[in-house]
A and B are shown apart, each in its own frame.
Chain A
Amino acid sequence: MAIPSESTVVIVGTGVVGVVIAEQLLDAGIPVLMLEAGPRVPRAEIVENYRNLPLAAKGNPIECYPSRDWAPHPEPAGAGKGYLQLSGADSYAQSYVRYAGGSTWHWAGTCWRLTPADMQLHSRYGVGRDWPFEYATLEPYYARAEHKLGVCGPDDPALQWPPLRSRPYPMPALPFGPGEARFTEVVKELGYHNIPCAQARNSGMPYDDRPACCANNNCVPVCPVGAKYDAATALSRLEAKGAVIVENAVVWRVETNARNQIEAVHYYDPQKQSHRVTGKLFVLACNGLENPKLLLMSADARNPNGLANSSDQVGRNMMDHPQITMTVTLEEPYWAGVGPVVNSGIMETSQGDFRSEHAGAYFRFNNFARNRFVTFDALKKGLVGKALDEEIRRMTACTADIVAAHEILPDANNRLTLSSQKDWLGLPKPAIHYDVGDYVRRSARDYSLPIARNIAAAMGATDMAFSKQFNQSKHIMGGTIMGLDPATSVVDADCRAHDHRNLFLPGGGAMPSTACGNSTLTMVALAFKAADALVAQAREAV
């Protein structure tokens, strides 16, 4: 089939944000062309990649998604090695997937909502930024997102986060494994509530033509059966509705016209031939790093600092959830690894007036099977025979990781720019300067790590070890930040670029605050909000 060179709406990126918007447009009868930088790969290939990885590599979710030369993503070897050029006090070492289906291929499926307070940090606590609308505005989009992705969660409001909902979850919460159940009992004695995690995973029933979860404990890096939502599961349905999806199409320039509206995008194919696609409306949904990179790369005479960048905020305010992992050794067995990999969390510790001074934190019991974490250590002890078997079993049962994930404030100095280093196509690599800042460091020192130590003691830990640095949660936010003032923000309340009325930049990049919970559900809620605006605007344009 010949690849079209025009469409009513052109969407760059086939991750969760792109496919959700595409489906809303298609359902409204509006033609969509989707351009994906990477390949389209069957699930079985990724599962086999995972199974064939050596044990030491199984913990890195990106290793079963090898980059294509033309679409590098960060990875320890291969085409994506050294793709991110990092500097600053902390390392913005992200992981994302440039494949059709995007990074939900390897997400855990966690779907926490923001709270009203999370969206009003400045007005309530005098730090960060407020959102341009309140929780009540976002709530219906959350509900749509939960039903689109198939999010399971508890019916009991006491177990919901937050218990401010217009519709029930489409599926009940998943049961806890033994480790989560014991962890919940223990932290309750400290006054904390470990509640079921809302998650995009089919609970006890098929949903959206996908099967029920059966505890493969491999949500990250890939659900082998598609019980967890990932955007790749939607691609065929979109095509059945009329979408044209072009894979291996690396958009490298967004073109403006004399009215400073978007006229076209240009993409390279793997033979390095460039193609031009025109449209009426354009959506850049190609990841929180790739979006600002593409806007900066597209600088022209009318927009010398890059598109959508009259505010000079494109690529600034890069955020994530800086996390510290506490590994505990326990006297009693907890048996992490039964059920999905993330299934619960303590969210209440993310809220409070302390946010005027330091970040909140969310705690979770990581439910990954521990074998791959402990086997090398057991072997290193030189044990053999029954002693070796017993040590592996003991360490698998009686060790656990507790993660403290922090919110972070937008800081203009945490910035993505274009590196002088080039990728395979000759396009600049992203350079990111990053420092988690004192707001986070104070939290770790005075708040989150003391709580973690109390939890470890309550669990009966005989040993505890903390990660030596803030690690990234791979929740990329902030690079095209949202606001009402075009002088200080990139997009408006519908994720529409202030500078270009027919350009939408939905997703994590728009989020003015991070809260502590994973960002994807909020990204999808923003995608629905943007989709409504796109549908209305597309009808104007006809």
Chain B
Amino acid sequence: MNRKDALSGLNVTLSRRQVLFAGLVMAAGTALTSALPAFALPVSNGSFANFMALSRLLVNHQLDEGVGLRMMAQLEQEQPALASAVSQILAIATAHNATTVEEFFPAIPEGKLKALAHTIIFGWYTGCLSPKRGVKAFAFEQALTYHTTLDVITIPSYGISGPNNWSRPNAPVAAMPRF
């Protein structure tokens, strides 16, 4: 399949698996929009599919599309050329046949594209786009920082144990939970 029409003039070839994956992303994105709050809707479905596809390549975990939509809406306000930049990074990933971030992240050129990639990762882990106090959060429970330790640490304000049921052996650091 030639993605020239879909991805801003890029001319790269996708594998069958990538086509199926992209189709699933598109379908999920379409289905999701009907359930999302109105403020999250201005982004176009095609751009959103690309954004989520890139997010899943940058952050190799299960990602909540509602969070993605809200993050993308904020990013678009900051970066009018977001869609183009996303497509460029996606093309790099595709060119490397990447399925994990480690496989293509070093190839992203320093500058705006690398900064955007870091920002998207930052967003998924923190639920906001900056370490500043005054920024608007778009995720709390889904912020991935909490998921790296979810086998041990409660997401603050939620409980994972019953009354007085938190005495436990010290958990090893090496056993990363799947999320």
List A residues at the B interface (Cβ < 8 Å). 47, 50-58, 60, 63, 76-77, 174-178, 181-182, 202-205, 212-218, 222, 224-225, 332-335, 337-339, 369-372, 375-376, 379, 382, 384-386, 388-390, 392-394, 396-398
Contact = CB atoms under 8 A, between A and B. Distances in A.
Contacts of B157: 47, 50-51, 216, 218, 222, 224
B176 A58 contact: no
Among B131, B133, B168, which residue has the most Cβ atoms of chain A within 10 A?
B133
Nearest to B134: A77
Contacts of B121: 379, 384, 388
A397 B164 contact: no
A365 B160 CA distance: 21
> Chain A interface secondary structure, helix, strand, loop or mixed?
loop
B44 interface: no
Nearest to A172: B164
30 contacts: A52-B137, A54-B128, A54-B130, A54-B132, A55-B126, A55-B127, A177-B168, A178-B152, A204-B164, A205-B163, A213-B164, A214-B159, A214-B161, A215-B165, A217-B154, A225-B159, A333-B170, A334-B170, A335-B153, A337-B152, A337-B154, A339-B166, A371-B148, A375-B125, A384-B101, A384-B121, A385-B100, A385-B102, A392-B145, A393-B149
Given A53-B137, A178-B152, A393-B149, 7 more contacts: A52-B137, A55-B131, A212-B163, A218-B156, A335-B170, A379-B118, A389-B148
A56 B163 contact: no
Contacts of B158: 216, 224
A54 B136 contact: yes
Contacts of B15: none
B167 interface: yes
Contacts of A56: 128, 130-133, 135
A385 B126 CA distance: 15
A355 B152 CA distance: 41
Interface residues of B, number: 50
A379 B144 CA distance: 12
Given A55-B137, A76-B133, A77-B134, A213 B100 contact: no
Among B122, B125, B153, B165, which residue has the most Cβ atoms of chain A within 10 A?
B153
Contacts of B169: 178
Contact of A51 (B100, B140, B160): B140
Contacts of B146: 371
Given A52-B137, A182-B170, A335-B170, A217 B131 contact: no
A335 B176 contact: no
B78 to A, nearest CB: 15
Among A55, A337, A370, A375, which residue has the most Cβ atoms of chain B within 10 A?
A55
Nearest to A47: B157
B164 A174 contact: yes
B126 A369 contact: no
B172 interface: yes
Contacts of B153: 217, 335, 337-338, 369-371, 396
B58 interface: yes
Given A178-B170, A371-B146, A204 B163 contact: yes
Contacts of A174: 164
